[in-house]
Amino acid sequence: MSKVRLLVGTRKGAFILASDGKREQWDVSGPFFAGWEIYHLKGSAVDPNRLYASQSTGWHGQLIQRSDDGGKTWQPVDNKFVYDGVAGTHQWYDGTPHPWEFKRVWHLEPSLNDPDTVYAGVEDAALFRSKDAGQSWQEISGLRKHGSGPHWQPGAGGMCLHTVILDPANPGRIFIAISSAGAFRTDDGGETWRPINRGLKSAHIPDPEAEVGHCVHHIAMHPSRPDVLFMQKHWDVMRSDNAGDSWEEVSGNLPTDFGFAIDVHAHQPETIYVVPIKSDSEHYPPDGKLRVFRSRTGGNEWEALSNGLPQRDCYVNVLRDAMAVDSLDTCGIYFGTTGGQVYASSDAGDHWAPIVRDLPAVLSVEVQTLS
């Protein structure tokens, strides 16, 4: 019988939530790495017992942990992230040059075909890769050096490379996103990169349609259609049907088109999910009602999903990596909140229930569907 394992990163440790295919009863284990910020954990698609975790604190900096037994035991691997060559400068918040400085790993993306290869998206924005299961890291410096790097600026959360998407149909193609530089794509395994931001409009930059400078919050892709991308931008939900060459807005009837998380149904590539958030400064759901919005038409037409979610006095946020879907027949969808709840729906969003209510603030949620 199939099982589901959720990997939950929080402000104060990691948790693993496990259930059978019914997704009604859950075993909670953790905290792992108690007291440390766990920005992200993710498992290998080819070896589900191989997990990687990004662990950090202000005191001791960055660690990377690896598990080879599905999270029962962990071992620290290499934590040396050194930019290739002269690091140079990017723009600071005030527009002055600021040296590139490594701060933390936001996202770990294991290879789709090699459990020993894993990508790390870091702050200050760069992409690193390990080919030896985390024992050493090398920067894929073509991204940072492609030309626009000195003009990149941090978003409020830092200048982070937070999204890494590997194209299952094209091994050389990788999509990444940076706050607040935008989205980029390589078609040659990372040697060369180009911005893919045409169609984005951002009022907070001098030229709203500039090639770079857009605060992309997250991007999602369905593996069966790797040329179709869905983006939650700082404002606006966007869609591309040509691998990011151009984008169109699909915010439609959303109550607010600001948000962080976005994901795609496991079996219906035109069914997508977002969690609208009030902004620019509040960063909680409109009207105190926690609602996921689903579009079955690839955007523009959205329906609110609220059954089982708090509909009053709810002022949490759902961060960019804190939503995920399983691949069981009735697609499960999960998200975590800054209030420490992890909600699950085993029927594609029609009904929700909390798995846990009182974790530390949730930074990330990933799902493994295990046979």
- What is the spatial distance between Cα 269 and Cα 40, in angstroms, rounded to a whole number? 25
Cβ at position 98, least distance to other proteins in Å: 17
Residues belonging to the chain = 371
Location of structure tokens 């990011």: 244
What residues line the site for other proteins (CB under 8 A)? 35-36, 57-63, 76, 79-80, 82
Cβ at position 164, least distance to other proteins in Å: 22
Nearer to other proteins, 15 or 137 (CB): 137
In angstroms, the Cα distances linking 245 to 86, 129, 212, 252 are: 30, 25, 13, 21
Cβ at position 79, least distance to other proteins in Å: 5
Nearer to other proteins, 36 or 302 (CB): 36
- What is the spatial distance between Cα 266 and Cα 332, in angstroms, rounded to a whole number? 8
10 Å CB burial of residue 94 (0-12, 13-18, 19+) is exposed
Q: Tokens in use for 279?
A: 């902004």
Nearer to other proteins, 80 or 351 (CB): 80
- What is the spatial distance between Cα 158 and Cα 186, in angstroms, rounded to a whole number? 23
Nearer to other proteins, 88 or 147 (CB): 88
Nearer to other proteins, 137 or 273 (CB): 137
Cβ at position 246, least distance to other proteins in Å: 40
Cβ at position 59, least distance to other proteins in Å: 5
Nearer to other proteins, 59 or 281 (CB): 59
- Distance, first Cα to last Cα, the chain: 6
Cβ at position 289, least distance to other proteins in Å: 27
Write phi, then psi, for 149 (nearest 5 degrees): -50, -45
